[in-house]
Structure 1
Amino acid sequence: MNSAVAAACGVLALSALAVPVAHADEQFGDTAITGVVVNGGEPVVVDTTERTVTVEVTASDPAGLEQINATLHHGAIGAPDATVVPTAVCGPTTDVTSTCTLTFTLTPGTAPADDAQAGAWRVSAYAIGADGDAVFLDDAAGFSVRRATQLTADAAPEPVKRGRTLTVTGDVRHASWATGTTVAAGSGLPVKLQFRPKGATAYCDLKTVATTADGTVSTTVRASTDGIYRWSYAGTAATAPAVSPGDYVDVLR
């Protein structure tokens, strides 16, 4: 049995078992994976409860496709510290080109296990043709998994006389995947104070304030007109951006 036939037999055996198997990048015949999109191209934000994620894998083979599948993982390729498999795989189909939508469940405390697993994740994917051709990609695409952020705002005193000092405070917290709770963001994160005057449709940036060790922010402004104050956090590679609810302040003349 020559090597090409042996490879095809191995692919047919995999198709019969219908389970993912780790491979280095390999291609047998004319099966191809032409696109992988995670969460519509947006970062995946995970809070303290389960989060489902969809992955679209587009594959082609002139003979049709027997199966399309993928796996999500964090850590080194070949030795990940977190792995998530789909709830179901796609196939078979007689279509020459097919886009398979796979659904995954990320479970805080399991995968991702803890906050160290925030950041870059990878997708491995494979497609098997109806004629036994196949393609296996260990590193088919990358995406970002970020800890959810909660942000609050409070302006005081309310109401305030025009020209008096107004103090605006806030609290920045992130999801803790290991504990299933939220924790203080810690110090040094830049958070913007924004203001929208009464009757306006857009916010303007007033100043940027860094969080303290307990994740709080505080600053003062001179009250001049009625409007809404809020805090805006841009996020990082590991934490999601967030905007607090606005706090309306009535300024007395």
Structure 2
Amino acid sequence: MRIRATVAAVSALSGALALSAFAAPAAQAEESAASVASYRAAVAKIRQAAQAESGSQRAGARYDLDVSFSNFKIAKAIKVGATNHVATTVSYTLTHGADVDITADDFITDPIIYRGSYTSPDNRLFGNKPAKCTAASATTATCKGTIDVYPGAHELINTDAGTWRAAAEATAFNGQDPAGEEFDQSKVGYAGKGGLGTTLVQRHSKLTVDASPEPVQKNKTITITGKLSRANWDRGTYNGYVEQPVQLQFRKKNSDTYSTVKTIKTNATGNLKTTVKATQDGYFRYVFAGTTTTPAVNATGDFVDVQ
């Protein structure tokens, strides 16, 4: 499983969380990349211990936190380019026991999306910062967070495109310092739940069109070229999307509506080329309907002056 580089680095250097990362004022903690990475490392250890449990045999001896998650909302699709950072907002309802203090500095909850199984994911993505929760009652809160994606840092490979599942977790450290000599993990509470929803993580797409010659005499042939490309997360570039059906559409000069002229397929490099007769002034564009791994995209219309 691929993990965010900052988490791996801090985990390797410190091996634990400094409690000061939680105790710092909220504004200061949010501005500290080291604090973000530190709490990730600590929560990851608790999560791994919790998910390693089988039957009544506990690994790590943490206790089950009286927290549950519902009403998870996330975008239907997250479109991710070749290298740019992408963030999407997530919200969910957190229900907790009266003895759980969600306002404590060392109480943390997060949304997560993952590929594969929740307990043994092929990949996992989460936010740079913890979710922020607003109490709706004495035992419920509305939480909002983000999923942050860094394809340029090799968090994704091309085979990751498609359906991801959603999860949420909560950890109450209850004043325990994982870096301290007297750290008692039995006093740390953890709750996590997978299968809360789904989203598509897609390879961002681009589509171009060029109609020529311009201007053109009426009833002469127009050649319309273009290219359909999508993000290649393995290489950090955009490459042609091959053998994909794309519609050629036309809109009259004074109309707002496009109509489909024909459907053609991209070639072995993602390029498009076809011809039509010039009959009237208007705009030509290519339209791609999208797939599970790649979002739909429309080229900007190219105007042709017919004389």
1:165 and 2:221 are equivalent in the alignment: yes
1:152 and 2:152 are equivalent in the alignment: no
1:238 and 2:293 are equivalent in the alignment: yes
Q: Secondary structure at the match of 2:159?
A: helix
Report Cα offsets for 1:191-226 as digits up to 9, x if no partner. 011111001011111111111101011111111110
1:69 and 2:124 are equivalent in the alignment: no
Q: Provide the rounded CA distance (Å) in 1 between the counterparts of 2:95 and 2:89.
A: 20
Q: Return the offset for 1:127.
A: 4.4
Q: Is contact 1:69-1:127 (8 Å) kept?
A: yes
Q: Is contact 1:192-1:231 (8 Å) kept?
A: yes
Q: Structure 1 stretch 100-109 or stretch 241-250: which is displaced more? A: 100-109
Q: Provide the rounded CA distance (Å) in 1 between the counterparts of 2:134 and 2:258.
A: 51
Tell me the equivalent position of 1:9: none
1:37 and 2:104 are equivalent in the alignment: no
Change (3 A) 1:162 1:65: farther
1:19 and 2:62 are equivalent in the alignment: no
Structure with more strand by fraction: 1
Structure with more helix by fraction: 2
AA of the residue aligned to 1:100: C
AA of the residue aligned to 2:150: T
Q: Return the offset for 1:51.
A: 1.0
Change (3 A) 1:81 1:31: closer
Report Cα offsets for 1:130-166 as digits up to 9, x if no partner. xx99753122221100001111101111111111111
Q: Provide the rounded CA distance (Å) in 2 between the counterparts of 1:79 and 1:109.
A: 24
Q: Provide the rounded CA distance (Å) in 2 between the counterparts of 1:233 and 1:115.
A: 20
Tell me the equivalent position of 2:162: 119
% identity of equivalent residues: 31
Q: Provide the rounded CA distance (Å) in 2 between the counterparts of 1:93 and 1:231.
A: 46
Tell me the equivalent position of 1:58: 93
Aligned length in residues: 234
Q: Provide the rounded CA distance (Å) in 1 between the counterparts of 2:216 and 2:189.
A: 73
AA of the residue aligned to 1:168: I
Q: Is contact 1:33-1:135 (8 Å) kept?
A: no
Q: Provide the rounded CA distance (Å) in 1 between the counterparts of 2:283 and 2:159.
A: 36
Change (3 A) 1:191 1:119: same
Return the TM-score normalized by structure 1. 0.81
Q: Is contact 1:68-1:90 (8 Å) kept?
A: yes
AA of the residue aligned to 2:117: A
Structure 1: runs of 5 or more not aligned: 1-14
Q: Return the offset for 1:56.
A: 1.1
Q: Secondary structure at the match of 1:172?
A: strand
Q: Return the offset for 1:93.
A: 5.6
Q: Provide the rounded CA distance (Å) in 2 between the counterparts of 1:110 and 1:76.
A: 23
Q: Secondary structure at the match of 1:19?
A: helix
Tell me the equivalent position of 1:100: 143
Structure 2: runs of 5 or more not aligned: 1-21, 24-38, 52-63, 103-107, 173-187
Q: Return the offset for 1:179.
A: 1.3
Q: Return the offset for 1:72.
A: 2.1
Change (3 A) 1:35 1:128: farther
Q: Provide the rounded CA distance (Å) in 2 between the counterparts of 1:104 and 1:138.
A: 15
Q: Provide the rounded CA distance (Å) in 2 between the counterparts of 1:50 and 1:29.
A: 33
